[in-house]
Amino acid sequence: MATRVYKYGLVPIGYPPQEAIDELFRANSLWNTLVALHRESRENYDDARRAASVEYSEKMDELEKKQQEISDAFDVLRQARMDEGTKDESNPRLKAERAVINRLKDEQRDIFAALKPLRKDADKNLDTKQLNDDFRVKVNTAASVKNNGLYNPTADEVVRNFKEARQKVLSNPAKSKLNFHSF
């Protein structure tokens, strides 16, 4: 009988057995749980910063408003493309809509620049150890074999991959994001 070795173990050639599919499903579920915990942790950090600094909170409200304006401007650009029947940016109407988006993004960039020192000031007043400990405990609880039904090696690998991906996101949050995985 011919066999193949996969990350999750030794299985016969052909359609993988139900046990392997179930293990992959549970691993995927653990990943999505960890991503949800990460996003909740980021929200908790943001809420704590907002509570620590009124100026930071006001600037974040301004940023959210600007991001909504940008989203609306992209919707208008999409509609203009459909109305004009072209994606060519040399079209006067599309060029005007793109100029609005660029102006809004420049304003957003200014808000980001003003937000950076406010964030640092707000972080000085945070109990980051408590926030990090809460997150760590939730991750360890979610990764526990008794809570997710995964085999230890599989759960450990999912958590290791998650921590690696999370480090990349935290080092460059503007350009990266942890996503949920569909099964």
pLDDT above 60 (res 6): no
Reference 6, options 41, 91, 15, 28; nearest CA is 15
pLDDT above 60 (res 8): no
- What is the model's pLDDT at position 47? 93
Mean pLDDT on 74-81: 95
Query: Could you give the angle at the alpha carbon of 61 between the alpha carbons of 74 and 53, nearest 5°?
Result: 150
pLDDT tens digit sequence for 105-160: 999 999 999 999 999 999 888 888 999 999 999 999 998 877 778 888 888 888 99
Looking at per-residue pLDDT, the higher value among 145 and 10 belongs to 145
What is the rounded distance in angstroms from the CA atom of residue 45 to the CA atom of residue 123? 9
pTM: 0.75
User: Which residues does residue 14 pair with via DSSP β-bridges, in sequence order?
Assistant: none
